[in-house]
Structure 1
Amino acid sequence: MSTAILLDLPRQHRAGKHVGIVSICSAHPLVIESALIAGRDNQHAVLIEATCNQVNQDGGYTGMTPLDFRQFVEGIAAKVGFDPGKLILGGDHLGPNPWKHLPADEAMEKSRVMIAAFAAAGFTKLHLDTSMGCRGEPVALPDETTAERAASLAQAAEGALPAGGDKPVYIIGTEVPVPGGALEALDHLQVTTPRAALDTIEVHRKAFAAHSLEDAFARVVGIVVQPGVEFGNEDLVVYDPAKAQALSAVLRQVPQFVFEAHSTDYQPETALAGLVADGFSILKVGPALTFVLREAIYGLDQIAVALDLLAPNETVALAMEELMLREPQHWQKYYHGDDAALRVQRHFSYSDRIRYYWPHPDAIAAVDRLMTALGEREIPMPLISQFLGTLHAAAAAKGQKIDARSLLLLAVRQQTDLYSRAAGVL
């Protein structure tokens, strides 16, 4: 799981090459399979990251530990024939977020156990995110506190590295967007100031040095900043290079670094390419991938009903609505409005909180019922046009039979290929 491609990103940017890497932030097996097939077909590395909420020593919402997740991804890679030497695994938002309801000492101890498990399992890209307050603390912490806690996590990771493996690269940053998109209106989004970015680097440098982690700090390759991109339930702020010009220029002063751009989901390709050109070389995408997958599943729902293969009361959409109403913990505090507005958000929000439900046995059973009903039959092109319009051109271009499973993979592939083109991979 070589880290060379990550360590080389700053040099590529300094040389004027618009080259980046796409970070696939998803634990959905079809998303991962599609991304690995694309990497196999195009012979490029694939970076897959698990968040602290998805995967941790307690199992996260996927039920997987870091070692479980590595074996899960490697199993898919073997199935599709992807070269494991081109697989990079990352841990995203590693810090106290899952335990911020606890006092800081307890939350940070659990965080150190978690990051040690990620490091021991061979994850070689580790995002240190200690920016949130824990019980009794303010929501946002002073940079010095954040940096000290980040250094303690790096120390735990360095102490857990397997013998003979690549040493991990680290991502730092105190202006870290919340996982999964914004929780409020986006009319006050502020681009990180150059001074804030430089101060973040310096305060982390000092904190790492205080822990005798100079070697680890030399492998800090990226800093998370706010370039002026974000999404909410139905809002999208598209990248404006002019507003980030001063921030982008900071990289000339810190040649060790590139920027990592979070919340790039739903950005148009031109905006993504602009981010890469301006040094936001690591493009993270997650909810947009399960969003298009959900679109495809719901489209296949309607196709199965049109073909009399499913009754209207047997659709995945109906099963998901029943499940989300019965177990509202993953969406209830994020969505607001009357009953009609909540129903729309549960299924169609850009924030895609529905993604938390796909590992649920009831959701798996509903999708399995749909896929069994459609089987390997050829999906008629007119029905693809009607219910999966965004896939029609790509499906037609294949010039061959296309079945339901292939359409799901194609939906994700269109998104990952868009990102890969923007990152200069395709």
Structure 2
Amino acid sequence: MKKRVLIITYYWPPSGGAGVQRWLKFSKYLPDFDWEPVIYTPENPEVPVDDPSLLEDVRPGLEVIKQPILEPYSFYKKFIGQKKGERVNAAFLSENKAPGFKEKLSVWIRGNFFIPDSRRFWIRPSIRFLKKYLEEHPVDAIVSTGPPHSMHLIALALKKKLDIPWLADFRDPWTNIDFYPDLNLTPLADAKHRNLERKVITSCDKMVVVSRQMKTEFEELGGKNIQVITNGFDDADVGEETPESDKKFSIVHAGSLPPNRNPRILWKVLQELVTATPELADSLQIKLVGKVDISVLEDIRSHQLEPYLKLVEYVPHDEVMKILQQAQVLLLAINQTPNAKGILTGKIFEYMAACRPVLTIGPTDGDVANILNDVQAGLISDFTDEEGLKKNILEFFNRFREGNLSVNSEGIHQYSRKNLTSILAEHLNKITS
């Protein structure tokens, strides 16, 4: 008989973007390992994008419980002059203009008054609702996934009231996240964040994080019983037929490009290369798929690279893999932040599944570098290594001209969503045995 696990997640289809993928895929494969998931998620979330195609990944018969959530975004939009129907971007990304005084003030208010985040008003109603639900429909374990970390506070309260084994999953850090300093917290607000974080990581029965560096950071904060389960790729997302490759020497980035992920060194190096190498200038295409901060576009223009630029609006996830497989080179830009070594985006695994070479800019001793080297999926250079980056681009370009630009991505099966779910199921078994 299958065990039941309640999964508390803010992001769920038809919401799109990176945040929804992890637990959508876990819930898809958990029944194969004798766990029946029950999803608890907001009825009316404020999300950057919608992607109805992800509904196809929801396992038939899956129980999904939705409750309304009250969020302050309608007031936020009115305050900064944003239209009611416009979406709020994550990671301080602004597509049309640089943040002004009102936007900066709103960030300060968000960090200091909406603790741990703007979904805090969903905590108490959810505790009341779920306590009653769980008393009538028992589960064997609870999972909370954040950010937003309000999800963890819901699970924390249920753990105290009902003593159900609890696994806390961190897709990103809490106080160690890259934009934490940008919140401009008062000492009191900072202390509140850290106190809540400490309660969560010391009260759960198991912590799961997505990278080794995150594991180390949480251990230093007092976290125990921490397991690394990375993000991954779903074999079902990779089509049986490989689409024809781009004719141009395309360097493709999929996903959002906020300011701290802007690879300024790349624009500088590419400007030098197209000036010095006419063959590259004739073949180059820079393809950015998804939301792009205005600072990135301004840097591209300032380096005279706009003629090579192709912008692609957000596309459904089921079309992303085709674009990745068509690319000549896939660009992975790591956030230039103090926690850069531990940043391990889900994007890298889908890049590897596309079997196209990955051009990475980031720490050469970080988690991404270790995985790239492990599966021989691409080349990496540090944030300031212009010569190394230039060498890597030229190596890829020469192989493109010779018609042998490909990678084997050996050993990537360990990062398949189904294999990762088997590991998750083992740890759920351990905390419930």
Which structure has greater strand proportion? 2
**Pairwise same-fold verdict (TM > 0.5):** no
What is the TM-score normalised by the length of structure 2?
A: 0.35
What is the TM-score normalised by the length of structure 1?
A: 0.36
